[in-house]
Chain A
Amino acid sequence: MTSVIKGLIVDDELSGRENLKILIESYCTEIKLLVQHHLQLKQSV
């Protein structure tokens, strides 16, 4: 079974996103983080 969970981090602060991204990529092989180009929370999500 090769299933990997697709994860997305939603955080308005880049530092928050980056910190969690590093932890997940370093310690959680079951998740592949999706690319999030940018998140404009003032606009439609």
Chain B
Amino acid sequence: MSNIWIHILFLVLYFIGLIFIGVYTGKKAKSSEDYHLGGRSIGAFVSSLSFVAAYFSSVVIIGGGGFGYKYGLATIWIGVVNVLVGCFLAWVILGKKTRVMTAKLHAISLPDFFQKRYNLQFAKTFTSIVIVLFLIIYNVSILKGLGNTFEVILNIPYTTGLLISGAIVLVYVMFGGYLAVVWTGFIQAIIMISGLVYLFFVTISKVGGLTTGVAKLQTIQQSLVETPGVWGFTGLISFMLVVSLGVWGMPQMVARFYSIKDGKAIRIGALIATIGGTMAIIPYLLGALTRIIYPHIVDVDLALPTLVNGIMPVFGISLFFIGVIAAGMSTFSSILITSSTSLIKDLWTDSLHKKMTEKQEIVYSRFINVAIGIISIAIAWNPPGLVLELTGFSWAIIASTCLAPYVLGLYWTKAAKFGALASMTGGFAVSLYWMIFTPYPVHGFIPGVVVSFVLFFVFSWIRPFKKFG
């Protein structure tokens, strides 16, 4: 059997497993809250590992490998800050408070939380539109990572890989809903972490040990091993903040906190997410070391797939291949479910006051998933940028819109509706302007988030409301 057929065999087995989970969990979705939040009964292991899978998707594996290749070992810092801020602190600071408050308000999504917390319908309508539109860009970055992996490992056209992976995710999200997403995410995280750890040891052995690898990298270019190295502090720190602090305002990530069972599960989940998240440094490290073995890769997003294809034994390639696909699919499916919740629950039924039965909500959510998936695949056909650049763009806009009203809504009883309104619209406008015109070379996330916090405090002070709670 040729190597490609072995990869295909593993892939088919894996896909059958995913579809089985989708259909099985789909039978459990009796109500709309079951479909969108899994009935708020998900345990620590499944919640935290599906959080890790949704966070460190093919974007981090493929895009992180690409950034490591391009900018060197300084990019390890991105992975480390992801673990500290994006995993540990996110769970500790946001987890319990979000679980308690969303259950009390009966909120099932971030826009729903904004509307109920601030008693402001516009907040729900505005944020659900921003979330749906800009998560599509994030979807494109994930699909590009998947397409690139199929392209190199199966030696098939990028567009064919894009269609196959996109179609499979659509099938299991359509049938299973949120429960399918977290359960497949849990399994995908295990596969993804195993694949990365295996690749780590094979690569280190190939370059003659980590110390020798670093020395060889130094001979290529000294700045590839230094921090901030070839990227510079401005680029490195601002990107680090987007993909770490940005998580705090990303609806598909914080959804894990509303659906988790209880406070104990959050405490244990924080530890598992932190330990599971440490694998985030591997793609950056290996991406940098890939330069030693393959010094002339032009499309840097192909660095890790090329490395894997060149140095791993056949079963190792299959494991990595499925790991990347698992990573991409888990995030893609999380985004689809978040987008459909925003469109059907937040925009259609609540903002536009269209009546629907629970059963109709589930059916329409399934169709919306397919429609958003198809639009994302169509844009990914000719992707407009590198994997991590697209991710940074999408995260900057969404987090600048949602982060301040979400965090302050949880912790500040004086957080008022005019503050939230000014913060959302101001953060959105500034980050979008910055990402398009770049008046100063820092990532648009930073001015967007700073402006949104400042506007929140100023307008809450000018137009205070009675204390919440």
B is bound to A: no
List chain B positions with a Cβ less than 8 A from chain A. Answer: none
